[in-house]
């Protein structure tokens, strides 16, 4: 008799969510998975491997807008045929689009997560895992531990911190675990490392040096999405992780320099930096600078895509202003490692980036000619 747990995966069609579905299915870890999302899998640009995972008979899709409390409640109802309730709830759903108003982030993050956590408490789930942000603090000198002083510096992180507080308040009723993330990369990344990859590719096409704001020592810590998935699963099983926060970050201590060096090698481009002084001048009108850069890159990107016969792609070189701040994303992973978690991908390397690009080329979403 099989006693594998059941999983309710909120936001399961997103970048991390789809990788988590695939991780759970491929490793046969669960009895049932209900994926909840407002975007149906057919509209989510899933690759072949992710599609196969979603087609598994253990996976059920449920369409819902989790901002709506009644819809949210429905998604927690027991499985229609087996009647089983949910052991683990993983919340990967959030408003992650850049440049939204504060009200939109508040609804799409604070309200959404509060709805989900309250439902999880009502249903007496064994564990609720919330995906939070590593942008809740920043330091140039010291990798930030989970208990360091908090100064959230992105719109998402500001709301996520409020969610963390809500969960603390629910701790008597809901065993939860919070995961704080840096730049997450891997198959299906569109928003974090991918725009930087595309920007580098466009500089190759333009045959120009890629000149970046700040300098090479700006910390931009990373983690592979496979580690995010494995760590979520690992933490959900571990009673010590109840009502705790963990940074899930690799050992690479990635910086703008280490990332750009890899991109420079892949695309044979030169990289240079404006330096802190010049960048501070640009910072006075950062939004103008960002608009200018985005304008400069968008036209050639459209051109290359068209040349390669790509008429529609969710990929873009668009970097939002927050991603270009002089803010160090520098996180300490000691707490996670002390619990016994062993990183699958300790370091970002060239091959992991090529894997992402190749996957998009196969789906005809990234111009193959840029890799020639």
Ligand X SMILES: NC(=O)c1ccc[n+]([C@@H]2O[C@H](COP(=O)([O-])OP(=O)(O)OC[C@H]3O[C@@H](n4cnc5c(N)ncnc54)[C@H](O)[C@@H]3O)[C@@H](O)[C@H]2O)c1
Residues within the interface to ligand X (CB under 6 A) = 11, 13-17, 37-39, 64-67, 92-96, 108, 112, 131, 133-135, 156-157, 181-182, 184, 192
Q: Residue 371 Cβ, how far from ligand X at the closest point, in Å?
A: 24
Inter-residue contact 329 to 256 (CB < 8 Å):
no
* Nearer residue to ligand X within complex by CB, 65 or 316: 65
Nearer to ligand X, 216 or 322 (CB): 322
Q: Kindly state the smallest distance separating residue 372's Cβ from ligand X, in Å.
A: 29
Instruction: Give the shortest CB-269-to-ligand X separation in angstroms.
Output: 26
Q: For the CB of residue 220, give the shortest distance to ligand X in the complex, in Å.
A: 10
Select 192 or 301, whichever has its Cβ closest to ligand X. 192
Within the chain, residue ranges assigned H as helices are 15-26, 48-55, 69-75, 102-105, 112-122, 155-169, 194-206, 225-237, 256-267, 275-283, 286-307, 334-338, 350-362
Residue (of 251, 255, 186) closest to 214 by Cα position: 255
Query: Measured from the CB of residue 197, what is the shortest distance to ligand X in angstroms?
Result: 15
**Which residue lies nearer to ligand X by CB, 14 or 257?**
14
Tokens of 55: 């087609």
Position with the least CB separation from ligand X: 14
Distance in angstroms (rounded) separating the CA atoms of residues 66 and 70:
8
- What token pair was written down for 140? 């140039």
Q: Could you tell me which of 163, 101, 90 has the C-alpha nearest to residue 132?
A: 163
Token pair in block for residue 200: 């580098």
Residue 156 or 213 having the CB closest to ligand X: 156
Q: How far is the CB of 72 from ligand X (least distance, A)?
A: 8
b/e sequence 95-119, b meaning 16+ C-beta within 10 Å: bbeeeeeeeebbebbbbbbbbbbbb
Q: Which is nearer to ligand X, 197 or 269 (CB)?
A: 197
């Amino acid at each position: 008799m099989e006693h594998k747990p059941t999983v309710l995966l909120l936001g399961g069609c997103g970048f991390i969510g789809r990788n988590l579905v695939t991780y759970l299915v491929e490793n046969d870890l669960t009895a049932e998975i209900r994926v909840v999302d407002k975007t149906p899998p057919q509209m989510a640009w899933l690759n072949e491997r992710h599609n196969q995972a979603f087609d598994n008979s253990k996976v059920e899709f449920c369409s819902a807008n989790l901002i709506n409390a009644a819809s949210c409640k429905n998604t927690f109802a027991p499985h229609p045929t087996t009647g089983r309730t949910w052991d683990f709830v993983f919340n990967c759903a959030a408003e992650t689009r850049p440049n939204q108003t504060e009200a939109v982030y508040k609804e799409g993050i604070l309200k959404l997560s509060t709805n989900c956590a309250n439902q999880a408490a009502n249903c007496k789930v064994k564990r609720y895992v919330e995906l939070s942000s590593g942008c809740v603090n920043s330091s140039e000198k010291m990798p930030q531990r989970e208990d360091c002083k908090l100064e959230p510096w992105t719109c998402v992180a500001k709301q996520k911190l409020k969610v963390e507080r809500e969960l603390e308040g629910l701790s008597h009723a809901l065993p939860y675990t919070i995961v704080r993330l840096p730049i997450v990369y891997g198959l299906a990344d569109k928003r974090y490392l991918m725009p930087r990859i595309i920007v580098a590719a466009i500089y190759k096409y333009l045959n120009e040096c890629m000149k970046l704001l700040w300098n090479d020592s700006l910390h931009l810590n990373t983690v592979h999405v496979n580690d995010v998935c494995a760590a979520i699963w690992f933490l959900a099983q571990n009673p010590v992780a109840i009502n705790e926060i963990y940074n899930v970050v690799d050992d690479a201590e990635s910086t703008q320099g280490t990332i750009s060096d890899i991109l420079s090698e892949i695309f044979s481009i030169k990289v240079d930096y404006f330096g802190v002084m010049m960048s501070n001048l640009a910072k006075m009108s950062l939004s103008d600078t960002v608009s200018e850069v985005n304008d400069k890159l968008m036209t050639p990107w459209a051109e290359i895509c068209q040349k390669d016969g790509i008429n529609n792609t969710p990929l873009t070189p668009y970097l939002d202003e927050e991603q270009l701040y002089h803010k160090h994303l520098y996180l300490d992973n000691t707490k996670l490692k002390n619990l016994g978690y062993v990183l699958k991908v300790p370091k970002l390397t060239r091959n992991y980036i090529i894997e992402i690009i190749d996957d998009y080329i196969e789906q005809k979403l990234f111009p193959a000619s840029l890799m020639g």
